[in-house]
């Protein structure tokens, strides 16, 4: 820090030396590189493939993520990419829809119905959905145009450690010559190396022994010129006949369909036509009628749809010795709720505040860096505990595979139907940052589920009243299941 921009550029370009080396020009890496550069740091951003990514991830940005992106000075990156405003969700349970919009704010910007019900009037926050690759190219363009950033297309293959200490000094890379295909070794040095190399991180194991776990994959189709029942809303299809399906428009003519397929389900066995068979015979029939023709057409090419694992990786504490690992490499949750980018942008915001040059002039000051990372670990829980728990808990309910979970799934839908939408959708949208509100709504759903299930039992035929003892047993089982789903998650995400 402190050198003139031109000196710093020379140091980056000739000597490959900067204040910060960022690995991965994806969602986290671009936002981090840009933010540190805005604070006057000299940044080298390393990315293995600079062409526009064609991926099925990171296509719906929640309002809470858009707000963080705007605070980082990158709000313009959702402009000019045919992004579609997203006003909330349309949840379709066994073919019955319920409208779950993001909550309105009063004149003072407050959300007045966080605990109960929903407001009708007031300005509502809005998210955006888009082609992931187009958004990434906008983020990269912002970095390429910044005088304090040098972007290099190269693959990072290793970290470089000091000879006498385990301090990370930078990274080793291989740069491919596009004409010959030859790979040239190179090195880049920084006071701090930020690793943001995504879900399949090569470097995660240097800071944690935790590995991502997944029990399902999302298979993707791109539907052309289809009509969603509620344009401008993300659609979540749940029910008895299939596992969750997400639908959201990512461009004027394109709609993304993501089909959750748990590992090893018999409906997707080779005898039943594999994943294509499951999508065709179970998932597409559960879609709104207006969407089915485009979904069948998208499946026509005969290929297995592209897929991604739906990973769960709780964050771990890091003792930085010149390097920190962040983004998906550090923390992942089921993508059902579209929270990954919201977590990433809020993390960049928090990190840049904690490492601001006025607080941490030298990033190679290990003790100050360690203290900042410890603070970050706990402070980020204000939003990650909500977004991560919600993603995992909702997935358990929406992919219900037993009686109690099905009762909770129905309870959740009925909760929305009774108008309890502002709190849940504010949490989902990354707008509400109070974990206690999540606990309140989760257990309200559980008690509603118990009530509804009990009524269903005793009102089933003339002898229903004889089932009263069963009502108590089931009430305990449903409450116990809600606790089993929620409490370990909130303990892991909120308190450890
Ligand atoms: C199916 C699915 C759907 C999702 N949908 C949404 C959604 O709608 N909304 C949402 O908010 N989140 C969503 N997510 C999550 C979101 O995509 C991620 O949280 C987000 O992309 C994480 O950003 P990142 O920067 O950590 O990783 P990435 O965005 O994956 O970026 C990693 C970058 O590092 C580069 N890289 C990797 N290795 C190297 C190397 N060795 N050298 C140089 N460069 C390297 C990669 O090329 C890439 O550019 C979804 C996830 C999945 C699985």
**Residue-by-residue DSSP string for 16-44:** -EEEEEEE--SHHHHHHHHHHHHTT--EE
Ligand 1 pocket test: pick from 74, 340, 345, 392 the residue with the most ligand atoms within 8 Å of its Cβ: 340
Instruction: For the chain, count helices (H), then strands (E).
Output: 13, 19
Residue nearest to atom 49 of ligand 1 (CA): 26
How far does residue 28's CA lie from ligand 1's centre (Å)? 8
- Give the integer Cα–Cα distance in Å for 79 and 253: 17
Q: Other CB atoms closer than 10 Å to residue 238's CB: what's the count?
A: 25
Q: What pLDDT, on the 0 to 100 scale, is given for residue 63?
A: 98
How far does residue 300's CA lie from ligand 1's centre (Å)? 28
Q: What pLDDT, on the 0 to 100 scale, is given for residue 1?
A: 52
- Which ligand 1 atom minimizes the distance to the CA of 53? 49
Q: What pLDDT, on the 0 to 100 scale, is given for residue 67?
A: 98
Instruction: List pLDDT tens digits, range 209-264.
Output: 899 999 999 999 999 999 999 999 999 999 878 899 999 999 999 999 999 999 99
Q: What pLDDT, on the 0 to 100 scale, is given for residue 406?
A: 93
Phi, psi of 453 (to 5 degrees): -65, -40
Average pLDDT over the chain, rounded to an integer: 94
Q: What pLDDT, on the 0 to 100 scale, is given for residue 466?
A: 74
Q: What pLDDT, on the 0 to 100 scale, is given for residue 9?
A: 95
How far does residue 340's CA lie from ligand 1's centre (Å)? 8
Task: Please give the structure tokens belonging to residue 137.
Answer: 């190219």
Residue nearest to atom 29 of ligand 1 (CA): 26
Alpha-carbon dihedral 80, 428, 259, 442, rounded to 10 degrees: 180
Asked whether the predicted pLDDT for residue 334 surpasses 60, the reply is yes
- Which ligand 1 atom minimizes the distance to the CA of 30? 25
Q: What's the mean pLDDT in 1-12? A: 79
Q: What pLDDT, on the 0 to 100 scale, is given for residue 97?
A: 96
Residue nearest to atom 41 of ligand 1 (CA): 156
With cut-offs at 50, 70 and 90, classify the pLDDT of residue 495.
confident
With cut-offs at 50, 70 and 90, classify the pLDDT of residue 3.
low
Instruction: List pLDDT tens digits, range 368-390.
Output: 999 999 999 999 999 999 999 99
Closest Cα partner for 60 from 477, 428, 466, 487? 428
- Which ligand 1 atom minimizes the distance to the CA of 332? 19
Query: What are 188's strand-pairing partners?
Result: 171
Q: What pLDDT, on the 0 to 100 scale, is given for residue 14?
A: 95
How far does residue 26's CA lie from ligand 1's centre (Å)? 6
Q: Domains of the chain (ranges plus CATH)?
A: 5-53+132-209+313-382 (3.50.50.60), 213-311 (3.30.70), 388-495 (no CATH)
- Which ligand 1 atom minimizes the distance to the CA of 60? 8
Phi, psi of 162 (to 5 degrees): -65, 155
Q: What's the mean pLDDT in 417-424? A: 97
Residues having CB closer than 6 A to ligand 1 are 23-29, 46-49, 56-61, 155-156, 196-198, 202, 218, 308, 327-329, 335, 338-342, 344
Q: What's the mean pLDDT in 6-33? A: 96
Tell me if 257 sits within 8 A of 298, measured CB to CB: yes
With cut-offs at 50, 70 and 90, classify the pLDDT of residue 437.
very high
Helix (H/G/I), strand (E/B), else coil: 41: coil
- Give the integer Cα–Cα distance in Å for 449 and 465: 19
Tell me if 384 sits within 8 A of 64, measured CB to CB: no
**pTM for this entry:** 0.96
With cut-offs at 50, 70 and 90, classify the pLDDT of residue 439.
very high
| DSSP 8-state class, residue 48 | S
270 exposed, middle or buried (CB, 10 Å; 0-12, 13-18, 19+)?
Answer: exposed
Ligand 1 pocket test: pick from 53, 57, 77 the residue with the most ligand atoms within 8 Å of its Cβ: 57
Residue nearest to atom 17 of ligand 1 (CA): 58
- Give the integer Cα–Cα distance in Å for 115 and 135: 34
- Which ligand 1 atom minimizes the distance to the CA of 27? 25
Phi, psi of 391 (to 5 degrees): -60, -50
- Give the integer Cα–Cα distance in Å for 145 and 109: 34
Helix (H/G/I), strand (E/B), else coil: 417: helix
- Which ligand 1 atom minimizes the distance to the CA of 59? 8
- Give the integer Cα–Cα distance in Å for 478 and 445: 11
Task: Please give the structure tokens belonging to residue 122.
Answer: 């007031």
Ligand 1 pocket test: pick from 341, 384, 395, 428 the residue with the most ligand atoms within 8 Å of its Cβ: 341
Q: Percent of the chain at pLDDT above 70?
A: 99
- Give the integer Cα–Cα distance in Å for 307 and 304: 9
Residue nearest to atom 30 of ligand 1 (CA): 198
Tell me if 233 sits within 8 A of 255, measured CB to CB: no
- Which ligand 1 atom minimizes the distance to the CA of 49? 47
DSSP structure string for 74-135: -GGGGTTS--EEE-EEEEEETTEEEEEEPPEE-TTS--TTSSSS---SSEE--EEE--HHHH
Q: What pLDDT, on the 0 to 100 scale, is given for residue 102?
A: 97
Closest Cα partner for 394 from 371, 372, 416, 378? 416
How far does residue 199's CA lie from ligand 1's centre (Å)? 6
Residue nearest to atom 50 of ligand 1 (CA): 57
Sign of CA dihedral 339, 407, 99, 230: positive
Instruction: List pLDDT tens digits, range 43-54.
Output: 999 999 999 999
**Poorest-confidence range of 176-180, 256-260, 286-290, 298-302?**
298-302
Closest Cα partner for 355 from 19, 25, 29, 12? 19
- Give the integer Cα–Cα distance in Å for 364 and 366: 6
Closest Cα partner for 70 from 62, 58, 59? 62
Tell me if 260 sits within 8 A of 218, measured CB to CB: yes
Asked whether the predicted pLDDT for residue 84 surpasses 90, the reply is yes
- Which ligand 1 atom minimizes the distance to the CA of 330? 26
Asked whether the predicted pLDDT for residue 319 surpasses 90, the reply is no
DSSP structure string for 155-182: EEEEEEE-SSS--EEEEEEEEE-TTT--
Q: Percent of the chain at pLDDT above 90?
A: 88
- Give the integer Cα–Cα distance in Å for 310 and 305: 15
């Amino acid at each position: 820090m402190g050198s003139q921009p031109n000196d710093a550029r020379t140091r980056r370009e000739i000597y490959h030396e900067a204040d910060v080396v960022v690995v991965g020009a994806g969602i986290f890496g671009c936002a981090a590189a840009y933010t540190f550069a805005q604070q006057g740091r000299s940044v080298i951003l390393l990315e293995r493939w600079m062409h526009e990514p064609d991926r099925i991830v990171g296509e719906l940005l929640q309002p809470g993520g858009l707000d963080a992106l705007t605070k980082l000075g990158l709000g313009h990156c959702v402009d000019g990419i045919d992004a579609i405003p997203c006003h909330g969700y349309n949840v379709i349970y066994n073919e019955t829809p319920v409208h779950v919009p993001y909550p309105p704010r009063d004149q003072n910007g407050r959300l007045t119905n966080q605990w109960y019900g929903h407001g009708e009037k007031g300005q509502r926050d809005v998210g955006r959905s888009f082609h992931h690759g187009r958004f990434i190219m906008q983020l990269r363009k912002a970095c390429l145009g910044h005088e304090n950033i040098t972007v290099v297309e190269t693959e990072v293959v290793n970290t470089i450690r000091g000879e006498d200490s385990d301090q990370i000094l930078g990274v080793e890379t291989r740069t491919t010559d596009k004409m010959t295909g030859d790979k040239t070794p190179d090195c880049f040095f920084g006071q701090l190396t930020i690793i943001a190399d995504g879900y399949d991180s090569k470097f995660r194991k240097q800071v944690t022994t935790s590995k991502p776990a997944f029990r399902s994959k999302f298979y993707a189709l791109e539907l052309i010129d289809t009509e969603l029942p509620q344009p401008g809303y993300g659609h979540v299809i749940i029910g008895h006949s299939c596992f969750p399906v997400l639908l959201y428009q990512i461009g004027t003519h394109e709609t993304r369909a993501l089909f959750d397929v748990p590992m090893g389900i018999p409906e997707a066995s080779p005898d039943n036509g594999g994943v294509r068979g499951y999508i065709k015979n179970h998932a597409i029939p559960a879609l709104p009628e207006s969407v089915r023709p485009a979904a069948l057409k998208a499946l026509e090419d005969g290929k297995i749809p592209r897929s991604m694992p739906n990973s769960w990786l709780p964050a771990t504490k890091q003792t930085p010795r010149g390097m920190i690992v962040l983004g998906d490499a550090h923390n992942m949750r089921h993508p059902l709720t579209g929270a990954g980018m919201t977590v990433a942008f809020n993390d960049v915001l928090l990190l840049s505040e904690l490492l601001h040059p006025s607080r941490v002039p030298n990033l190679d000051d290990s003790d100050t860096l360690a203290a900042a990372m410890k603070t970050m670990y706990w402070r980020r829980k204000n939003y990650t505990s909500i977004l991560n728990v919600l993603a995992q808990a909702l997935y358990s309910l929406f992919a219900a595979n037993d009686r109690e979970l099905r009762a909770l799934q129905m309870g959740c839908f009925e909760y929305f139907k009774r108008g309890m939408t502002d709190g849940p959708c504010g949490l989902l949208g990354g707008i509400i940052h109070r974990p206690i509100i999540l606990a309140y709504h989760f257990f309200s759903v559980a008690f509603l589920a118990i009530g509804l299930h009990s009524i269903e039992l005793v009102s089933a035929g003339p002898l229903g009243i004889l089932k009263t003892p069963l009502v108590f047993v089931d009430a305990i089982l449903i409450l116990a299941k809600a606790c089993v789903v929620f409490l370990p998650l909130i303990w892991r995400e909120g308190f450890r």
